Amino acid sequence: MSTVRLATYNIHKFVGADGKRNVTRILDVIRALDADIVGIQEFVVDTAIPHAPGGFAAHSTNGTQGVPGAEEFAAAAGYRVVQQKMRRANGQYQRNLLLTRAAPRLVRLIDLVCEGMEPRGAICAEMEEGGQRFRVVTTHLGLAPWARKRQFETMLRDGAWRDRLPLALLGDFNASIPFGPVDRRLRRAFPGHARPASFPARWPIVAPDRIVVDPASAVRSLRAYREAPANIASDHLPLVADIVFS
């Protein structure tokens, strides 16, 4: 048997509920999760700054902080990183990240772009922990219901069930409506999966973020991580799940 801890976290461009950009407290939350694999959404680099011992230096005097590159950020959290860069209409790059302690065996980047919509994608990685191979897919789906449905089907077709490996999907699915198209598809593909509320972080009432696993029997625990500073570091709470593959 092999136990794996998975997490997913929409870090909201490092901007917290107090309106301040703070890289350090996002790193504190990720370290506290103590996960083997973490999917990160809304990683946006504004200003690359050199890493300094003891944390990241502020680049302004108003309480905000500069954002390091993905490799530097992952290293500060204690991980390797796979990144997927997506160019937004304003020219800024937004990234999906997959943070892993062990090196992935294989990686695929899946394009989920829908015409006229903000670019989206998914990272698909084949992992091995304790001799058990499994596949993990992390994503951030779009805001429009029709786009989410198309993106979800593409993600499953192109990246997930291509063989008999155990599968974990994690990320921000933007599926807050229990009977929306993505949730209906999730119930068919992952019957009985839990939906812990993760948004908004201070008073979570909806569940846009998900960790779903096939086989469902592998999930030993799944919860929203509420401990400080997670309740203020982003507008989403992270989810964390302990998975036991046998």
The pLDDT score that the predictor gives to residue 191 is: 86
Listed residue (74, 16, 88, 69) closest to 40, CA to CA: 74
Q: What is the largest CA-CA distance in the chain?
A: 53
What radius of gyration, in Å, describes the C-alpha atoms of the chain? 17
The parent domain of residue 206 ranges over 2-245
Q: Render each residue's pLDDT in the chain as its tens digit; 246 residues.
A: 778 999 999 999 999 989 999 999 999 999 999 999 999 999 987 644 444 434 444 333 334 456 779 999 999 999 999 999 887 656 677 899 999 999 999 999 999 988 777 789 999 999 998 888 999 999 999 888 888 888 988 888 775 555 778 999 999 999 877 778 888 888 888 888 899 999 999 999 999 999 999 999 999 999 999 999 999 999 999 999 999 987
Q: Which pLDDT belongs to residue 49?
A: 43
Can you give the CATH number for the domain in which 211 is found? 3.60.10.10
Q: How far apart are CA 101 and CA 209, in angstroms?
A: 22
- What residues have CB less than 8 Å from 120, skipping those under 6 apart? 86, 112, 113, 114, 139, 140, 141, 142, 147, 151
* pLDDT confidence of residue 51: 42
Q: Is 98 left (phi over 0), alpha (psi -120 to 50) or beta?
A: beta
Element (H, E) at 7: strand 2-10
Q: What angle do helix axes 70-77 and 23-33 make, rounded to 10 degrees?
A: 50
CA atoms of 124 and 147, how far apart (whole Å): 19
Give yes or no for a contact between 175 and 151, defined as CB atoms under 8 angstroms apart: no
How many domains does the structure of the chain reveal? Answer: 1
